[in-house]
Homo-oligomer: A and B are copies of this chain.
């Protein structure tokens, strides 16, 4: 038997390689409805054409994370099919909203390589860009993964570790063209708290919990055409459980954060992210946030807030132990920027 894709191994990557990922995808109101069914997402800008128009956009875009998941999903067959671990994200920027009718494709450039000292695997850094049908970039981000070697005898490549910004600087955030929060309606958005009401260091417990089911995370992961086997095949583990796609936890935590951050309308950037512990069906996901920074923008009425979003399975306000390691209840530690009305 033949012809199926074994995926790339560590020795198959070369610095500067550009990979055009397969299967472009047109989105519609269908993906938006599925997103609302999968996550308790309620940000008004992504729910209502009328609200979006009142904010200067032509119509309601699909959730930023729909764009992220689709662009990410396309990279899986080329980047992470033989990955041992998803190690991190950096320099993620949302460059242009995605609207129903848009077609997204995805490409990645290999920007870093470092073989592990055990000689069995190595770290691959890629910068991935999502592009719409007009050729306009909609988002880009750096991700690094640990990838197995096929041939342990293959020589180690020259080590190249890219210099990555710890945080996307506020002045590099791209406000969508036309966005104007100067007549923003907090009655319709769901909460009165504006940019000026958040203080650096402030923490918010988002209160609600959602118990996740096998059917839900598989529906979600397939929707993004993410083909990683571990999410779907219950025969891989004795307990029949499937490892939940980290992006499912990101979307769930982001949606839960509505309660306390209803006006954190748009994701502007992803500075860093860790999937601290695996998530399985039956876990009840909770979330809390911490305000890390604040910045102004050039756009009318639009401020930027830098947030830490932590998803846990049960624990409230947990993060790391005195040893610096994540508490076993922590699922996600995400550092990101949002746009919010002043």
A positions within 8 Å CB-CB of B: 1-5, 20, 22-34, 36-44, 47-51, 60, 77, 100-101, 103, 105, 133, 187-191, 193, 197, 202-211, 213-216, 218-220, 222-223, 225, 227, 229, 232-235, 240, 242, 259-262, 282, 284, 288, 314, 317
Contact = CB atoms under 8 A, between A and B. Distances in A.
Contact of A220 (B30, B37, B197, B209): B37
Contacts of A234: 211, 282, 284
A223 B32 CA distance: 10
A1 B205 contact: yes
A20 B188 contact: yes
B262 A22 contact: yes
A28 B100 contact: yes
B222 A38 contact: yes
A33 B36 contact: no
A49 B77 contact: no
A28 B30 contact: yes
Contacts of A233: 208-211, 284
Contact of A209 (B23, B29, B187, B235): B235
A232 B216 contact: no
Q: Identify the interface centre among A3, A48, A197, A242: most chain B CB within 10 Å of its CB.
A: A3
10 contacts: A4-B204, A22-B187, A26-B47, A29-B31, A33-B223, A38-B222, A105-B188, A209-B229, A210-B233, A233-B284
Given A42-B23, A233-B210, A218 B219 contact: no
A77 B260 contact: no
B30 A204 contact: no
Contact of A47 (B187, B203, B225): B225
A112 to B, nearest CB: 23
A14 to B, nearest CB: 17
A141 B1 CA distance: 31
Contact of A4 (B24, B207, B227): B207
A242 B77 CA distance: 34
Contacts of A105: 48, 188
A51 B104 CA distance: 11
